[in-house]
Amino acid sequence: MSKKSYREILTRYIQEHKVEDAILTDQVVQYAAEELGKDAAVVKKAVNVAMARLEKDGCVIRLAKGVYCKKVKTAFGFYMPNKDDLFCRQLLQDKDKIIGYETGLSALNRFGLVSQMPKKICIASNLHQKRVPEGIQVEVRKPPIAVNSDNYRYLQILDTIRDLDRAPVDAAHPVDILKNAVKALTLDTDKLILFARKHYSNKILIRTIDIMLEGKYETA
């Protein structure tokens, strides 16, 4: 069996990605290590050299340190994905696993609670320690607990409830908007309240009960 070259391994990895996907050097290193049966630390330098050559040869575009995308020519020149969107995708999802969610003012704007357009997209992510490259309009926050596909919507709603008093909310009926969002996302009210009790302050817990169970129960 012929020995696989780094260029061959990296080219195949790049081809498996969509044009709008971020290609991260750290993930490329891990992929190459698994293909070659070596430790990631051993192949890292060779992968960096190979990626630099692929960029020089016009196979990829370097967007930031350790971040590339496929180089695809169109009728209007080479396709360049939005850097902010690419960075957000890294924070929101790792392959098929959910690791983050939109929060803060940008989430309130998306829910229709505020009309103000924020300068930055705010993401709560398991990768909250990740450095934001210069020029990327993204703010990264630490989530209350590790984010996964089962809890991210609940955490997003609870963050939104928490931020109601901090943000310039100008929607006519914010409580109705939140209740409709919970219904549209098919979230369980009891589970939402449980998350609020376990991972948020008493103030947020009471506010959540007031909003979700308005007209059913009295709260202290």
53 band by pLDDT with thresholds 50, 70 and 90? very high
Nearest residue to 81 via CA among 94, 71, 90, 91: 71
- State pLDDT tens for residues 78-124: 777 777 887 888 899 887 899 999 999 999 999 999 998 888 999 99
Range 172-191 burial, b when 16+ CB lie within 10 A, else e: eebeebbeebbeeeebebee
Question: Is the pLDDT confidence value at 181 over 70?
Answer: yes
Maximum Cα–Cα distance for the chain, whole Å?
Answer: 73
Torsion of CA 64, 65, 69, 73, to 10 degrees: 60
Q: Give 186-213 as a DSSP string.
A: T--HHHHHHHHHHHS-HHHHHHHHHHHT
- State pLDDT tens for residues 141-167: 999 999 999 999 999 999 999 999 889
Do residues 70 and 19 make contact, with C-beta atoms less than 8 angstroms apart?
Answer: yes
**DSSP 3-state assignment of 176?**
helix
- The domain defined by 6-78 folds into Arc Repressor Mutant, subunit A (1.10.10)
Question: Is the pLDDT confidence value at 219 over 50?
Answer: no
Question: Is the pLDDT confidence value at 16 over 80?
Answer: yes
Distance CA(100)–CA(193), nearest Å, equals 20
Distance CA(32)–CA(182), nearest Å, equals 42
Give me the residue spans of the domains in the chain.
6-78, 83-212
Which pLDDT belongs to residue 217?
43
Do residues 49 and 8 make contact, with C-beta atoms less than 8 angstroms apart?
Answer: no
Which pLDDT belongs to residue 3?
66
Q: What DSSP element (H or E) covers 32?
A: helix 25-36
Residue 34: how many CB atoms within 10 A of its CB? 12
